[in-house]
Amino acid sequence: MVNRKGEQTKALILEKASKIFNSQGYRASSISDIMHETGLQKGGIYNHFENKEEIMLSAFSFSIDTMSHFFSEAMAGKQGYMERLHSIISVFEGIAERELFPGGCPIMNAAIEADDADPLLQEKVREAMDGLLGMVCNLVQEGIKKGEVKQGVDPEFVATVLISTLEGALALSKLYKSQEYMKRAVHHLRSFLAQNCA
Amino acid sequence: MVNRKGEQTKALILEKASKIFNSQGYRASSISDIMHETGLQKGGIYNHFENKEEIMLSAFSFSIDTMSHFFSEAMAGKQGYMERLHSIISVFEGIAERELFPGGCPIMNAAIEADDADPLLQEKVREAMDGLLGMVCNLVQEGIKKGEVKQGVDPEFVATVLISTLEGALALSKLYKSQEYMKRAVHHLRSFLAQNCA
């Protein structure tokens, strides 16, 4: 019973902390912010985490798990590789439209913030971005093997174009609180995939 | 003499502060960081600025002035509108290659960080991004008038595609400390302009 309650508290801390860090930044957010949002005392937080660094890294992982879940959901039931590539675009469109992450894309936000002063966070951000770029690369490679994607298409080129454009457009849509930027990027990338890959 | 020295000190503060804010974030950076980098005492800084907010806003403007200078330099001597559109891509390529802004693009970084809690900074970031998007829009509009850009091209569409992709790729190149992401984005956007605008 105690363990289960402990797990629930830990999950609450991660849920709230991930939103705070993603909105306000990792360095600029304090334990007081997390105390305020969770209603917990400092001791109630440090029961579950050794220090702020551990909360930061765990909260980042929590955001990435949430994102991965959106991609898995979007891929479910999609058979073709082109269809799956298009569903990555749709996930970003959904993130912008429904403001699924207050503060914008967790990977991009942490990428902008993390630098050599935060080697552990930077390493985790690179792993998360590797996952995102790698997902596109794999779909292109498998699509080529199955004859659904044109021979000779460079998977890393497609991954860079898709992810750069989607991340940039998500940031613009957030800045202006307008879906127009994401809509234009989506239109552009669907044409790009149709012209270059299919 | 005193005034001139005062101006030099103010310029030194803005130069150092803009780098600190762009690398570490606005909220996460302190006056102590600026004291450390400039070698000035707290009073020597607050002689020139009323509070941290004023330093933040002035340092952001300093970064934007630097960026504008890069664009002016790149446009100088370019006659055609297509050539000028391509030179915007080249400026971003140069920023990535020569790491002209430690921490990445000052507009994007501040866009990611600024939110409703920072209305003044957010307003300045929107103005700066308006300037960047507007520069692309104007070149497309003028290019259409002069017959150098295809009739029917949507200036805002071109601006969103260019700036989203360049900003996203700059962030990827910074994260991985690799020019490859920017190079792929540049290759993609040069084809995009050739196919859609010329």
Q: How does residue B2 score in pLDDT terms, banded at 50, 70 and 90?
A: low
The alpha-carbon gap from A41 to the nearest alpha carbon of chain B, in Å, equals: 23
Which range among A121-135, B62-76, B82-96, B99-113 shows the weakest confidence by mean pLDDT? B99-113
Is 80 exceeded by the pLDDT of residue B50?
Answer: yes
* Helix/strand number for chain A, H first, E second: 9, 0
Stretches where chain A sits below pLDDT 50 are 1
Measure the CA–CA gap between B57 and B17, rounded to whole angstroms. Answer: 10
Measure the CA–CA gap between A77 and A172, rounded to whole angstroms. Answer: 31
Q: Tell whether the torsion through CA atoms of A7, A33, A71 and A65 is positive or negative.
A: negative
Of A24, A167, A192, the CB nearest to B168: A167
Quick count: other Cβ atoms within 10 Å of Cβ B38?
Answer: 18
Query: pLDDT higher for B24 or B167?
Result: B167
Burial letters B117-149, b for 16+ CB under 10 A, else e: ebeebbebbbebbeebbebbbebbeebbeeebb
Give ∠ CA B64-A171-A65 in degrees, rounded to 5: 140
Q: What pLDDT, in 10s, does the model give residues B141-153?
A: 999 999 999 999 9
Which range among A15-19, A95-99, B2-6, B177-181 shows the weakest confidence by mean pLDDT? B2-6
The alpha-carbon gap from B73 to the nearest alpha carbon of chain A, in Å, equals: 25
Contacts B157 to A, Cβ<8 Å = 184, 187-188
Q: What pLDDT, in 10s, does the model give residues A113-157?
A: 887 778 899 999 999 999 999 999 999 999 999 999 999 999 999
Going by C-alpha positions, the residue among B93, B71, B84, B78 that lies closest to residue B198 is: B84
Contacts A187 to B, Cβ<8 Å = 157
Contacts A24 to B, Cβ<8 Å = 27, 115, 117
Quote the pTM value.
0.95
Of A27, A112, A175, the CB nearest to B171: A112
Contacts A113 to B, Cβ<8 Å = 25, 112-113
Q: Tell whether the torsion through CA atoms of B133, B139, B142 and B144 is positive or negative.
A: negative
Domains of chain A: 53-196 (1.10.357.10)
ipTM of the predicted structure?
A: 0.95
Burial letters A117-153, b for 16+ CB under 10 A, else e: ebeebbebbbebbeebbebbbebbeebbeeebbeeeb
Measure the CA–CA gap between B183 and B163, rounded to whole angstroms. Answer: 15
